[in-house]
Structure 1
């Protein structure tokens, strides 16, 4: 009997081993797609191929059109899943980024640092000289590039508006002790110009715009230097940031700085990085108030989302957990209640976006 049992045990052992052998042809993980630097070719994916809810598409489009949108794009792993234009806007039409373009300045600051042109921990006056504010010199010299990136310069934010001439940059608090949303961040563009020996636009075009195939230019709008481009160019920048500063295999912005920029930059406003807004934190501050609000910035959106938010609802949403980049350009969504950054539009929009994939 023993001689008959052994072959049976050997056979069972072999079957067991076979069942533990990995599948020789596993399903490959889809690579991130990057559109060519030139031309209009851009790979797409369908709603159905993602297993998303087709019935949720039209309510989203109706809402976007109702809310004065002009351009809207959803990328998943770099591929276009939705691309829609409204109110006479087209794929070739340019529009302003408003304060969503602050993140472009943050990115160029990181690029200049990795090239050894500046250090964000050095004081601003090291690069553009003293007297760039009307603050006492000792207080002005407390302000570093990092304070401008994190909105903690201590400069008065309400009384003098967006004017960044020295006479209007007055003392409110010591740098690092107070978070306040202020246009003074644009001084980083002067820092970069001085450090690089180039104009701001020239350095920007060479180091970022042309390397990832963006179109666009810097224009003066409402006394601000704002970026103007197509919706697809905004999506290209969002894709770069989704991939942690790399365009395909080319490092544009190093990952260490990217991680600093897209995480809490100071202890006052947990929802703010280096000119990026951060979702999913336990509290946050908003422009033009010193109030602290508890909870996530956009409760209807994924917690890991980071955002570029601009006046009149210009939006770049980057959601790593969903492999998504979402772009919205247009006029103010709620004209009766315009805001500088976050608005009720964000929460309602994300209710409709999340209905696609939930």
Structure 2
């Protein structure tokens, strides 16, 4: 991580600057909300489905659209406050060029991708400027769309923020240093780094459509709305491997991580996200985050709803190396893992610190990576070409509903944005 060789005078000045910046952010949050906060939400009166029907893949496409843009009606939420000074996303003078690509022997264009993959929102940023932005199915720039597992990447980013500000002392600290309630559980020997990599060794089944899986059990606990019940459930999961030896994709692991960040910082995740990123970077609108019960804990692995442009701003924040204005929010090398798919770091699997490294040859060459959520959401980041792509989809199945490999489309879109 970062090493400091500043003099004591320089350090005092740095602390003063950070303190002043933090005070400004808190003042902005307290005194200013986004300009549209008093407007009725456009989609608030639409009929929506329920969360179990959604996970069972039984929603119609139209009902999926309504539900995905109204997820704050499914569970209680905590607001992620914006600060009223949006980071500008100017329109590029060079709009997106023609998008054309081959997939499985067939030729496709951008409209084909939007139609076949049920895309309801698409934002492409090149050098921080909008080269294309489009909305489908009645969505608008004010629509808030669900994140599902895109939230995992945001939660993991908050680990970086907590490490940078000293709330988390080391990624090699034991999880139980921050969550003593997990003492004696499968997490007894696991470190923060191992949970971040989903390599705790704790048993977990992520099958979304299986009502007996651990993932569905966590959903049932969320429906029951008893604060703290998800972490208690994680404490019952047995260890099946030595920590650090087995990668196992687990939404439960992200719940542990999110509550660890809250415990380390002494703040709810939504508040910490607002303080560290949402307000100082300049998101335009307030967002929401699901809770496990009234005034409870944020669901670390899903349940953020935000606008298309603010997801794009989050991508730009990550692309910038984790800086908000002059503040270095993340350790400078925080995202270096995403370009490593061989060597020692390969032991942490394809899902690297809760981001997905790209999987096509072109995007791997560009060291691209993405946040991704079931039912089809992406925040794709290509550091080689300085491109961010945000996609919303209205898939009716949790996984496997896409016709075109999204990463193949992202390669073509990136090429057309040059």
- Structure 1 length-normalised TM: 0.73
Any stretches of 5+ residues in structure 2 without a counterpart? 1-82, 102-107, 206-212, 219-229, 293-298
Give, in whole Å, the separation in 2 of the partners of 1:357 and 1:111. 31
Relative contact order, higher structure (CA 8 A, sep 6+): 2
Alignment of 1:1-20 (within 5 A): none
Of residues 95, 100, 106, the one that matches 2:150 is 100
| Cα shift at 1:336 | 6.2
Contact 2:163 2:331 survives alignment (8 Å): no
Q: Pick which of 314-323 and 153-162 moved more.
A: 153-162
Paired residue secondary structure (1:318): strand
Structure 2 distance, partners of 1:276, 1:320, is: 14
| 2:177 match | 126
Aligned to 2:381: 318
1:157 paired with 2:204, answer yes
Matches within 5 A, 1:316-355: 316-332=379-395, 335=396, 338-339=399-400, 345-350=405-410, 352-354=412-414
Instruction: Give, in whole Å, the separation in 2 of the partners of 1:343 and 1:130.
Output: 44
The number of equivalent residue pairs is 296
Match of 1:288 in 2: none
Q: CA–CA distance in 2 between the matches of 1:152 and 1:354?
A: 32
Partner in structure 1 of residue 363 of structure 2? 301
Structure 1 SS opposite 2:122: strand
Q: 1:243 aligns with which of 304, 310, 320?
A: 320
| Post-superposition offset of 1:323 | 1.1
Structure 1 residues 343, 128: closer, same or farther in 2, change over 3 A? Answer: farther
Whether the 8 Å CA contact 2:378–2:391 is kept in 1: the answer is: yes
Partner of 2:351 in structure 1? 272
Residue 246 of structure 2 corresponds to: 178
| CA distance, structure 1, for counterparts of residue 215 and residue 238 of structure 2 | 11
Secondary structure of the residue aligned to 2:335 is: helix
Superposition deviation, residue 55 in structure 1: 6.7
Superposed displacement of residue 46, structure 1: 3.6
Q: Per-residue CA shift, 1:301-358, capped at 9, x if unaligned? A: 35210111111111011111111011101212xx568249x99532442354256258
Tell me which moved more, 256-265 or 195-204. Answer: 256-265
Structure 1 residues 54 and 266, CA gap change in structure 2 (3 angstroms): closer
Residues 298 and 346, structure 1, Cα contact 8 Å, conserved in 2: no
- Please name the residue that 1:147 is paired with: 194
Aligned partners of 2:194 and 2:200 also within 8 Å: yes
1:11 corresponding residue in structure 2: none
* Cα distance, 1:134 vs structure 2: 4.2
* Contact 2:350–2:356, Cα closer than 8 Å, also in 1: yes
Helix, strand or coil at the partner of 1:308: strand
Tell me whether 1:254 sits opposite 2:304 in the alignment. Answer: no
Q: CA 1:312–1:133 in structure 2 vs 1: closer, same or farther (change >3 Å)? A: farther
TM-score, length-normalised on structure 2?
0.63
Deviations 1:236-273 (A, max 9, x none): 01001111112344322121223246645843354332
CA distance in 2, matches of 1:254, 1:343: 38
Distance 1:133 1:344 in 2: 46
Which 5+ residue runs of structure 1 have no aligned equivalent? 1-35, 280-296
Q: 1:43 Cα deviation (Å)?
A: 0.9
**SS of the residue 1:236 aligns to:** helix
RMSD of aligned Cα (Å): 3.1
Which structure would you say has the larger Rg?
1
Q: Aligned equivalents of 1:267 and 1:351: distance in 2? A: 24
SS of equivalent to 1:142: coil
- Equivalent position of 1:76 in the other structure: 126
Quick one: which of 17, 23, 38 aligns to 2:85?
38
